Amino acid sequence: MPTFDFKQVDVFASEPLKGNPLAVVIAADGLADDRMAAFARWTNLSETIFLLRPTTPQADYRVRIFTPGGELPFAGHPTLGACAVWLADGGRVRGDMIVQECPAGLITLRRDGSRVAFAAPPLARSGPVESDLLPRIAAGLGLAVGEIREARWVDNGPGWLAVLLASRRRVLELRPDMTVLNGLKVGVVAPWDPVVDGAQAQFEVRAFVPGLGIPEDPVTGSLNAGVAQWLIGDGLAPGSYVAAQGTALGRAGRVYVEKSGSDIWVGGEVVTCIEGTVTL
């Protein structure tokens, strides 16, 4: 059985154990799909990724992203983790930007000081969530329909929709019914009150994904990318802000969002927790 270099990193955190863990199998070309899926189920992390040679000359590397429940075309925290590991493993940057190939297409990344950031991919689905779906979402979150200020599709591949609530406190109080939400990928966001909540972040985010084998994702790049496109585009957020996520799970994830020209960049810190080899 082949042996591969392996890392487990923490994404969207400046210190270990505070962000979203990611398993990374390096130079995994030739590994069969069923072995990738089996290893992702075995790690039981929200995502496990496999770094591969690109199939197009525009890309610097290729990545496949698996959850315990299946493969994703794109996800944010694996994209940042993959880039950080590729760089640390000797990846050579050909210009100002780094290009990742994944099933969703080519994703542009950049180094941002001690962080890495990706350009939010276009939304595959946007616009208001259908009114007949709102009662189910509200029931699944344990809310009255009237507590949902707005609801939008923010799908950039995984299938996200997001709802806006009035306060961080209400977001952190949520105890969702996953059986009601099953089949949906629901993000919840609310602004921080600087007087009550402080100034470390401007928004609180949670992500519920019962259909992927994990009830709640600790810190979610794809969701934050879609939410940023919605909030900034509608004037509900400034062009640069910090989102906190993972608080309800005892994490301290921080997602750095910045609009630059026509792009919205989503970035965070990546720290290595485990390093070695894995036999698959």
- Among 149, 188, 150, residue whose Cα is nearest residue 169: 188
From the list 47, 101, 216, 258, the catalytic residue is 47
Quote the distance between the C-alpha of residue 157 and its chain's center.
Answer: 11
In angstroms, rounded to a whole number, what is the distance separating the alpha carbons of residues 216 and 245?
Answer: 11
- Cβ-based burial of 116 (10 A; exposed 0-12, middle 13-18, buried ≥19): buried
Tokens of 163: 């709802």
Kind plus residue range of the DSSP H or E element containing 254 = strand 253-260
Instruction: Give the N- to C-terminal CA distance of the chain in Å, as an integer.
Output: 6
82: three-class secondary structure by DSSP: helix
User: What is the per-residue DSSP string for 137-189?
Assistant: HHHHHT--GGG--EEEE-BSSS-EEEEE-S-HHHHHH----HHHHTT-EEEEE
- Cβ-based burial of 262 (10 A; exposed 0-12, middle 13-18, buried ≥19): exposed
Query: Is residue 47 annotated as a catalytic residue, yes or no?
Result: yes
User: What is the per-residue DSSP string for 37-60?
Assistant: HHHHHHH-SS-EEEEE--SSTT-S
Active site residues: 47
